[in-house]
Structure 1
């Protein structure tokens, strides 16, 4: 074996070990059982969307090996991070899309009916919270 081959093999082993540690940490952090007390600290959205995310986490708990990691807002829309390696990806996608659609019609602050608009950034707000900004 050449020195470069040994170095590449060592580097690959180190990368694989780091990847395995990262996956283990994500599996440990993921909420698989619908425990809202563990899931809510990973809601990086306004309080108006929390009820929608609570329903999403409960729906995720009905699937084997589907773990909720986090949720945040980007471009006015909901983004959800999760772990899943099963064969029902279309069902999981439908749950996430339903929650995202509900968030597009709910105020980020209070949960009342709202709409997405762009002023400086894309946001979903009710009339009261649009006028307050």
Structure 2
């Protein structure tokens, strides 16, 4: 299991974070109540080739990668299968985040689970409302209100999970990459031709 988790960590990070993934070293995998967490070090501390994103956003994307794998692998030595009624489960488990059915492939179920759990940790304002959750141009898009509430860091969590989606197969949740076949979709090698 440890080797498979580390492989997935690197594969997802390569797609979602590009060249900066080479600088991060995996220190090991440790069990936690939330699932097996990949521990790492070496997140860049300076701007990367002029990208405008904040360093904290990149650090949160690394954290999201570790949390995602813990969520996906929390049930045991193999990744959990995607539930057939993913959107219904998300709405029942996290009604404060998902008031409407999500419009994504089932493979992002664990990504959306991670997002809702993490938002619950950092705080969700009572007036929070998800307007739409969908795939667009090969990545997750979450439209919500209110925006720019400095009292709650949930927007940074959403941004990190959206970026992470660029490395997660929309069909099964395994590491994937953007594939252009008319529409841009993130698919693993097994689902690339479908």
Q: Would the TM-score normalized by the shorter structure come out above 0.5?
A: yes
* 1:38-77 equivalences in 2 (<5 Å): 38=95, 39=98, 41-61=100-120, 62-65=123-126, 66-77=128-139
Do the aligned partners of 2:124 and 2:152 also contact (CA within 8 Å) in 1?
A: no
CA RMSD of aligned residues (A): 2.6
Q: Does 1:100 align with 2:162?
A: yes
Q: Which has the higher helix share?
A: 1
In the TM superposition, structure 1's runs of 4+ consecutive aligned residues that sit over 6 Å from their partners are: none
- Segments of 5+ residues of structure 1 without an aligned counterpart are 1-33
Query: Secondary structure of the equivalent of 2:170?
Result: coil
- The SS at the match of 1:48 is helix
Shift in alpha-carbon separation, 1:109–1:85, aligned structure 2, 3 A? closer
SS in structure 2 at match of 1:129: coil
Question: TM-score, with normalisation over the residues of structure 2?
Answer: 0.44
The answer to whether the aligner puts 1:127 opposite 2:189 as a matched pair is yes
TM-score (norm 1): 0.62
Question: Unaligned stretches of 5+ in structure 2?
Answer: 1-90
Return the match for 1:91 from 153, 162, 174: 153
**Offset, 1:50:** 1.2
1:14-44 Cα deviation digits (max 9, x unpaired): xxxxxxxxxxxxxxxxxxxx95364275211
Number of positions where the alignment pairs a residue of Structure 1 with one of Structure 2: 99
